[in-house]
Amino acid sequence: MSDETFSLFAILGSIASAAALYHLFRRGQALRRLQRSLEEQGVWFGAAFQIRFRGLAGEKGQFVVRAADPELVARARAELQKPIEKRLHVTGTLAKGDGGFNRPWSWHIAPDQWDLVETSIELCDGTPVDVEGNLQYWLYTVKRFCPWTSYLESELLPVM
């Protein structure tokens, strides 16, 4: 095979690969649109976890996070096996609206954009009431919520 022929095959292979990647990308976009549409109708593919606060009782001391990322779900489930006093706190990216799962709050932590950590900066420490009471500041200045006294309390069962 000549160098020119080999180069032609390499170029054609690159074009075919680019076309395949483009179709996968378009399929991914379609799947994301379908997932968003289903979520708007209350259908969720993943896990939801109740977050509780040490020292805060009732609704004012809880919120819900969601995850579809298998690694994040596995870490969260492993965290639930630890004694409460050894559990890490949540940190994540805030988003406007309850997300369809974080009632009664008018904010939520974006699904799959949270983690469990041992330490975080003081700026994003607070309570759900703090976030609700100064929502614009939290959403557009702080942008994260990392309440130091939070912990995963339980995995929530899907509601049909």
131: amino acid identity, one letter: V
For 100-145, the pLDDT digits (tens) are 999 999 999 999 999 999 999 999 999 999 999 999 999 999 999 9
Q: Residue 66: its pLDDT value, please?
A: 95
- The answer to whether residues 68 and 101 touch, using CB atoms and an 8 Å cutoff, is no
**Rounded CA gap, 91 and 109, in Å?**
9
Q: Is 158 helix (H, G, I), strand (E, B) or coil?
A: coil
pLDDT tens per residue across span 64-98: 999 999 999 999 999 999 999 999 999 999 999 99
